[in-house]
Amino acid sequence: MSAVPVVSLRGIVTRFGSNVVHDGLSMDIEAGEIVALVGGSGSGKTALLRHIIGLTQPAGGTVRLFGEGLREGSVHDRIARQRRFGVLFQQGALFSAFDVGENIAFPLKELGVATEGELRDLVALKLAMVEMEPEHAALMPAELSGGMVKRVALARALALEPELLLLDEPTAGLDPDRSAAFVRLIRSLHRELGLTVVLVTHDVDTLAALATRVAVLAERRIVSFAPLEETLKNDHPFIQRFFLGEHGRSALARRDGNH
């Protein structure tokens, strides 16, 4: 296959003082995949997402997005590249002083891509994509349920019609019903928009429902990168604990029951 990976990480080294978080980490993510990134607390999952989108630069190694180095090209090229991905951070991270519509419009305004009238239409369109109503645009973040906060944050991540969506713990803090609804939403958006998705999650239910491949971050690198069935056969201690502990077992049993 000659297609260029959407994300290509080579020999990534990340250090915070004497804390070496990644040491020679490499991984390629192909177009259309949903990759679940798992690893212990503090293993560097969020730090890796931050490198992928260029918020931080690793101490060593290279990050390529859509076949281009993150620092490559003119300012114009970099802005164009930024429009090709959307991010949903761990806490949903809406701006509390802005209403829902302003939150969703924020990336569009920042890049100056629409007039006020177009913005209103685009906000309504993005709300519909996450199964919310145009009236919800006037609500303030404090008035939203946890599931709605995630939906609005997702609508904002989709604002610029990205090809790549990065989700950091998208279902954390949601009850099982809301979590399942969010998973269905991501699955249908993935299908309809042809997105590539990178998903950090501790939740085996979410992962089992979505991931085309599971990347396991342990010992400062990716120790396994394979479909779930194959991952489960790996006897790495972290993998065994993560999937075959009590929570993992019951999630996998639920998945088998749903098939």
Q: Which residues bind ligand ATP (CB under 6 A)?
A: 16, 19, 21, 39, 41-47
Cα angle, residue 256 at apex, residues 250 and 259 outer, rounded to 5°: 145
CB of 11 to ligand ATP, least distance (A): 18
> For residue 151, how many C-alpha atoms fall within 13 Å in the half-sphere facing its CB?
25
Q: Which of 154, 258, 148 is nearest to 208 (CA)?
A: 258
Closer to ligand ATP by Cβ: residue 38 or 158: 38
Closer to ligand ATP by Cβ: residue 19 or 115: 19
CB of 239 to ligand ATP, least distance (A): 15
CB of 58 to ligand ATP, least distance (A): 12
Report DSSP state, residue 1: -
CB of 71 to ligand ATP, least distance (A): 20
Closer to ligand ATP by Cβ: residue 44 or 101: 44
Cα angle, residue 107 at apex, residues 101 and 109 outer, rounded to 5°: 80
Closer to ligand ATP by Cβ: residue 136 or 220: 220
Q: Among positive and negative, which fits the CA dihedral 24, 67, 85, 213?
A: negative
Beta bridge mates, 152: none
Output the CA–CA distances (angstroms, integers) from residue 257 to 99, 251, 252, 254, in the order listed. 41, 10, 8, 5
Closer to ligand ATP by Cβ: residue 209 or 217: 217
CB of 79 to ligand ATP, least distance (A): 25
Closer to ligand ATP by Cβ: residue 42 or 67: 42
Cα angle, residue 167 at apex, residues 198 and 194 outer, rounded to 5°: 55
CB of 40 to ligand ATP, least distance (A): 7
**Tokens standing for residue 124:** 């309504």
CB of 102 to ligand ATP, least distance (A): 28
Tell me the angle at which helices 146-157 and 176-193 cross, rounded to the nearest 10 degrees.
Answer: 20
Closer to ligand ATP by Cβ: residue 14 or 196: 14
Q: Which of 149, 158, 46 is nearest to 96 (CA)?
A: 149
